């Protein structure tokens, strides 16, 4: 049986208009590199990375979706059971910001009520071409109860933070009981015995091998 | 029936034209057939000292029957290692693999560039074209790059303007790119238009269902040849969507080497419309051990199979296997296994093409006259089926 060196799996989706930098954000997060010539996404792509939150190793399973409307029929089925949704717009293209409410509606309708939705204004390195102010987007985020950061897949600024903050929120929701792990579509899987919420130290091997 | 080596009869008068490809506009399509045949023969003599002989049926046959026989020879060649090998030969061979005589397809014969108009996908096409031609060809000068992109945009927009019933999908521009790298602008348009009305048609309907329906043939095909792998895939609950970009773009979006894509296009142009599905399946079967030794879980299998590894042995292993699979479980049989009614309803054009076996599949035996006759019959069946498919598509709009 497989053994695991992580205690949880969190499922994420990345959504937003085409060209806002979703695939670059994923690549920067999983490979720590900017891929300027990243090919456009057809259908759904997949990436993964193990992170640590509160001493717990968590495997993030990240589904990167195509932006073209035509592919939504395919991508929609991947929203189901996501614990986290990263909703991305491009700070240099207002149209991508204007479409956020439609992406948010999709995300709300197709995920469960406890899904953590995180708003990312990408391409913050292109300050001179900025088309959407921080304040404006922050207000949109606050009005809709979203956490918000501006980031850059190019420089890496706030990329780690966006993915990890989302995981922290999900983890909190598990701990305070608002996210029910037994619910079919929580987007979270536990890979070891219910771990004591307190720290497991830095012995990742110790909590592997359950194979459940 | 006598089979003889094909003599080289005429000079390649159009050789210089290739260098200035953009100038030979409307002539290619209606070039009289016998001369076209000789072009191909000559190209092979030049490019292949070791001559892959194309044999010709006796001259008693009508020009149409000779052309049919040529097609058959080309189809065989496309399945052999390396396919047509060189782009000089591809420029001659590819136009013969599409059927310009089929009356059910309303080809546009005039000045296609003059027909370009604004359409709902104009902006999307522009965005995609601006990101094209990055991975290949190597050492493209900025001037050449700008020119190729401009041609690409024109050709795509022409097809979409002339046939407003066709919907653009991202990845279509990858296919068009490859046509333009091999053919001139005019021929590129002709090929793209033809395929958009036939083999790509189900990818270009109002929704993506035609494509996802095709993907649903992959697991039933695996079931026929590898029960253990099939059981594993089903248990993992993975969905065949991981193969979407391979099938939708004929691998042009997933393979980074231009030469490999060209070679795969030889195969797909010469085969029935489901060949990409067979090739995808051959690749999955080739990677079975890798799949079986991983986690039996949706995302693990998806993550593994959605990426096509570089430098796979296409010529030595995968293409022969795909051809063998398609002979063992033939397309119409496969469609039946996966639910005939469902398939015909959701991928009507492909179903029609398969029903008529167009173009005829590469066969290992030499051409027999009855095959030619059968082919002629199958074309009329296809015509009827296409009409049915077209009216189905109109209903959906
Ligand atoms: N300057 C800058 N360019 C970016 C950034 N992220 C992505 N890009 C560029 O934006 C384009 C689209 O990126 P991509 O990740 O494919 O977008 P997607 O369609 O949302 O997946 C690419 O040309 C990237 O090079 C960023 O943070 N800064
Ligand atoms: Mg992308």
pLDDT at A44: 93
Least confident of B35-39, B86-90, B159-163, B393-397: B393-397
Ligand nearest to C-alpha B131: 1
pLDDT at B12: 33
Ligand 1: does its nearest atom lie under 6 Å from the Cβ of A17?
A: no
Residue of chain A whose alpha carbon sits nearest to that of B213: A74
Compute the half-sphere exposure of residue B209: CA atoms within 13 Å on the CB side of its CA.
13
Does the distance separating the beta carbons of A70 and B127 come in below 8 Å? no
pLDDT at B290: 97
Rounded to 10 degrees, the C-alpha dihedral B26/B251/B243/A61 comes to -130
Q: How far apart are CA B130 and CA B134, in angstroms?
A: 9
How far does residue A24's CA lie from ligand 1's centre (Å)?
A: 6
Q: Would you say residue B19 has pLDDT above 50? A: no
B64 pLDDT tier (thresholds 50, 70, 90): confident
pLDDT at B395: 42
Counting every residue, how long is chain A? 212
Q: How far apart are CA B146 and CA B158, in angstroms?
A: 18
- Helix H or strand E encompassing B57: strand B55-57
User: What is the secondary structure of chain A as a DSSP string?
Assistant: ----S-SEEEEEEEE-STTSSHHHHHHHHHHS---TTPPPP-SEEEEEEEEEETTEEEEEEEEEE--SGGGHHHHGGGTTT-SEEEEEEETT-HHHHHTHHHHHHHHHHHS-TT-EEEEEEE-TT-GGG--S-HHHHHHHHHHTT-EEEE--TTT-TTHHHHHHHHHHHHHHHHHTTSS-TTSTT-SEEE-SS---SS--TT-GGGG-----
Q: Which domains, from first to last, does chain A contain?
A: 8-192 (3.40.50.300)
Q: Which domains, from first to last, does chain B contain?
A: 33-108 (no CATH), 110-203 (1.10.8.1310), 209-396 (1.10.472.80)
Ligand 1 atom 8: residue of nearest CA: A21
pLDDT at B219: 97
B239 interaction partners in chain A (CB closer than 8 Å):
77
**Are A197 and A175 a contacting pair, CB within 8 Å?**
yes
Does the distance separating the beta carbons of A44 and B134 come in below 8 Å? no
Reported pTM? 0.82
Q: Which residue has the higher pLDDT, A147 or A200?
A: A147
Mean pLDDT of A93-106: 96
The predicted-structure confidence for A21-63, as pLDDT tens digits, reads as follows: 999 999 999 999 999 888 889 999 999 999 999 999 999 999 9
**Does A35 contact chain B (CB < 8 Å)?**
no
Distance from CA of A70 to the nearest CA of B (A): 7
Can you read off the two tokens belonging to residue A198?
A: 């307190």
Counting every residue, how long is chain B? 397
Q: How far is residue A76 CA from its own chain's centroid?
A: 15
Average pLDDT, chain B: 78
pLDDT at A142: 97
Q: Which residue has the higher pLDDT, B150 or A189?
A: B150
Ligand 1 atom 7: residue of nearest CA: A21
Q: pLDDT exceeding 90 applies to what percent of chain B?
A: 53
pLDDT at A3: 54
The predicted-structure confidence for B70-112, as pLDDT tens digits, reads as follows: 788 888 889 999 999 899 889 988 988 886 555 455 667 778 8
Residue of chain A whose alpha carbon sits nearest to that of B253: A39
Mean pLDDT of B239-246: 96
* Residue A40, φ and ψ in degrees, nearest 5: -65, 155
């Amino acid at each position: 049986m497989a053994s695991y060196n992580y205690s949880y799996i969190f499922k994420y989706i990345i959504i937003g208009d085409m060209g806002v930098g979703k695939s670059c954000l994923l690549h920067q997060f999983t490979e720590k590199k900017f891929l300027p010539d990243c090919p456009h996404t057809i259908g759904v792509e997949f990436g993964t990375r193990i992170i640590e939150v509160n001493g717990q190793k968590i495997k993030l399973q990240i589904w990167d979706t195509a932006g073209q409307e035509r592919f939504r029929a395919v991508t929609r089925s991947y929203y189901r059971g996501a614990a986290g949704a990263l909703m991305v717009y491009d700070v240099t293209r207002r149209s991508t910001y204007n479409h956020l409410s439609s992406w948010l509606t999709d995300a709300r309708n197709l995920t469960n009520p406890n899904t953590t939705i995180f708003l990312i204004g990408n391409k913050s390195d292109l300050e001179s071409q900025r088309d959407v102010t921080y304040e404006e987007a922050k207000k949109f985020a606050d009005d809709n109860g979203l956490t918000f950061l501006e980031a850059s897949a190019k420089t890496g600024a706030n990329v780690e933070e966006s993915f990890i903050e989302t995981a922290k929120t999900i983890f909190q929701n598990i701990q305070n009981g608002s996210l029910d792990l037994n619910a079919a579509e929580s987007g979270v899987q536990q890979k070891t015995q219910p771990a004591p919420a307190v720290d497991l130290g830095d012995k990742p091997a110790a909590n592997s091998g359950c194979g459940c | 029936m006598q089979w003889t080596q094909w003599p080289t009869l005429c000079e390649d008068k159009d050789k210089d034209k290739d260098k200035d490809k953009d100038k030979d506009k409307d002539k290619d399509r209606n070039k009289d057939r016998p001369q076209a045949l000789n072009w191909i023969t000559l190209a092979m003599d030049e490019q292949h000292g070791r001559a892959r002989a194309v044999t010709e049926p006796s001259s008693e046959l009508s020009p149409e029957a000779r052309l049919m026989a040529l097609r058959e020879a080309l189809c065989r060649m496309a399945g052999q290692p390396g396919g047509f090998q060189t782009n000089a030969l591809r420029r001659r061979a590819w136009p013969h693999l599409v059927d310009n005589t089929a009356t059910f397809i309303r080809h546009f014969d005039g000045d296609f560039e003059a027909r370009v108009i604004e359409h709902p996908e104009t902006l999307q096409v522009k965005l995609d074209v601006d990101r094209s031609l990055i991975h290949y060809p190597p050492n493209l000068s900025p001037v050449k790059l700008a020119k190729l992109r401009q041609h690409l945009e024109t050709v795509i927009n022409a097809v979409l303007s002339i046939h407003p019933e066709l919907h653009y999908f991202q990845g279509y521009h990858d296919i068009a790119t490859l046509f333009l790298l091999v053919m001139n602008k005019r021929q590129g348009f002709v090929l793209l238009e033809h395929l958009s009305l036939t083999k790509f048609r189900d990818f270009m309907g109002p929704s993506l269902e035609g494509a996802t329906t095709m993907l649903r043939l992959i697991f039933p095909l695996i079931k026929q040849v590898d029960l253990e792998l099939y059981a594993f895939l089903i248990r993992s609950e993975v969905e065949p969507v991981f193969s979407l970009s391979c099938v939708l773009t004929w691998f042009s979006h997933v393979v980074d080497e231009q030469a490999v894509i060209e070679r795969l296009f030889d195969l797909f142009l010469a085969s029935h419309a489901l060949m990409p599905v067979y090739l995808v399946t051959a690749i999955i079967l080739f990677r079975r051990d890798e799949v079986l030794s991983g986690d039996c879980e949706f995302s693990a299998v998806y993550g593994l199979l959605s990426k096509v590894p570089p430098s796979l042995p296409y010529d030595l292993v995968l293409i022969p296997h795909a051809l063998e699979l398609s002979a063992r479980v033939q397309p119409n049989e496969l469609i039946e296994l996966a639910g005939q009614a469902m398939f015909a309803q959701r991928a009507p054009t492909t179903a029609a093409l398969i029903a008529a076996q167009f173009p005829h599949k590469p066969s290992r035996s030499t051409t027999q006259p009855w095959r030619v006759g059968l082919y002629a019959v199958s074309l009329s069946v296809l015509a009827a089926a296409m009409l049915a498919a077209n009216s189905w598509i109109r209903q959906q709009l």
